[in-house]
Amino acid sequence: MSTATYSAAARAVVVTPRTGIGLSGYLDRTAAAHARLDHLEAGLIWIAGASGSAPDDGVLWVSIDALAVTARTRQAVVAAIGEATGIDTSRVVVVASHTHAGPGAWHEPIHPVFADQFDDDELAHLAATIAGGVRGLRDDARPATLHWRSAAVSGVGGNRHRPDGPHDPSLGLLEIRDAATHQPIALVYDYACHPTVLGPDNTRWSADWVGAARRRVRDGRDGRLPVVFLQGCAGDASTRFHRRERGDAELARLGGLVADRILELLTADAAPLEARPVRIDRTTLRLPVRSDRAADIHRADDRIGRGAASGHEGERCLEALAEADLPAELELPVSIVTVGTRCWMHVPVEMCASYGLAIAAGREDVRVIGYSDAYAGYVADRRTYREGHYEALTSYFDEETSHRMMTECRAYLASVYETSRS
């Protein structure tokens, strides 16, 4: 195995907007942000292969504390990065953490049921701030080694419909170290769980449990260390059955559990990843928009508590879909980042856990990441449709099309996976 190094650089940029802008994420919340609980950030990671000089080698991950990265969001961000740095925009992957305590001004409405809060000036400011952080990043890249670890996290995320429902409890952690000093340059981790500890009554900017985990990791390591989060297949994953309340203390407790797992993993030895060129493979899936959105499709009648509330919200979403002027099909960008022998498949949807697990089945070196480069809503599994849950009611796709997306993603991954190892 080669011991040659990668080339890497990282930064964390504060992107917290001004107060007075509307928060996104909850259907019935109309209040604007009046304060800040914690800063929203954009985590920036540049990784290139050992040579570091080939124009087609390297990836820039941009992870934003936002509800969604829509096509318009990505276009503004990558255009600003390209103009400021010359980085090939096809090498950029833009991901949202999916916090429900971020601004609606950065993206178009994610569904016809939501009010339009988009603001060109606020998005332009976000894009310029991120581009300013990326400027010089590639020039600052230094020889680095990459180290991979993974372990389960307990007591934070789970299936939000039933405690024994499908959920991927694993956390994947990529540690980037300076090759000369062996000190960490940055951490990139993924985990599948909605950042919705803070509920609809919250009117403060916050990255939710993701921000609490970030602070705790920094407190345990270098206080300025970029800690970059990639949201997994969290379509039906949340803290619902683990959170005790929805306040600041619970935010710190649950984020702390994730952070403590990361800090524990960092104490374990991990061999460096084999040095290879960094690949990004891209494709576009074209899927038909559901035709049954005006029909009386199955609705569960045994919901209680929050399940009942979200079910009724789902029915409102389905009604809004029936009234909306939607295209016949949606184009979904899918990308696969391959670093060493590790693959991150990026999809522009909120995918249910069982489908994410099915895509990566049998490949422990694959992570499936949602909320990437665009936003096309929920992709629910068959049981979720048949039980009439929120994800099925609000989806742009019917049951068969959602299943088709999973199978097409799995087939595309298989082709890239084999090619990247040849």
In this structure, is the dihedral angle defined by the CA atoms of residues 300, 239, 352 and 71, taken in order, positive or negative?
positive
Partner residues linked to 335 by β-bridges: 282, 346
Residue reference for tokens 């959920």: 167
| Spatial CA neighbour of 365 closest among 408, 405, 336, 332 | 336
Question: Cα–Cα distance between 129 and 417 in angstroms, integer?
Answer: 35
**Cα separation, 135 vs 385, whole angstroms:** 45
Report DSSP state, residue 289: P
3-state helix, strand, coil split of the chain in percent (to 5) is 30, 25, 45
In order along its 422 residues, the chain shows pLDDT tens digits of: 445 589 999 999 999 999 999 999 999 887 899 999 999 999 999 999 865 455 558 999 999 999 999 999 999 999 999 999 999 999 999 999 999 999 999 999 999 999 999 999 999 999 999 999 999 998 899 999 999 999 999 999 999 999 999 999 999 999 999 999 999 999 999 999 999 999 999 999 999 999 999 999 999 998 899 999 999 999 999 999 999 999 999 999 999 999 999 999 999 999 999 888 899 999 999 999 999 876 555 555 555 455 556 768 888 999 999 999 999 999 999 999 999 999 999 999 999 999 999 999 989 999 999 999 999 999 999 999 999 999 999 999 999 999 999 999 999 999 999 887 76
| E strand residue ranges, 232-373 | 237-238, 279-288, 329-339, 342-346, 350-351, 366-369
Residue pair 122/17 in contact by the 8 Å Cβ criterion: yes
Residue type for 303, please? R
Q: Phi-psi bin for 92: left (phi > 0), alpha (psi -120 to 50), beta?
A: beta
Read off φ and ψ for residue 393, nearest 5 degrees.
-65, -35
The answer for residues whose C-beta is within 8 angstroms of residue 173's C-beta and 6 or more apart is 148, 149, 150, 187, 188, 189, 262, 265, 266
Closest of 89, 2, 8 to residue 340, by C-alpha: 2
Counting Cα atoms < 13 Å in the Cβ hemisphere of 417 gives 19
Q: Where are the domains of the chain?
A: 279-420
pTM: 0.95
Q: How open is the CA angle 396-402-408, to the nearest 5 degrees?
A: 125
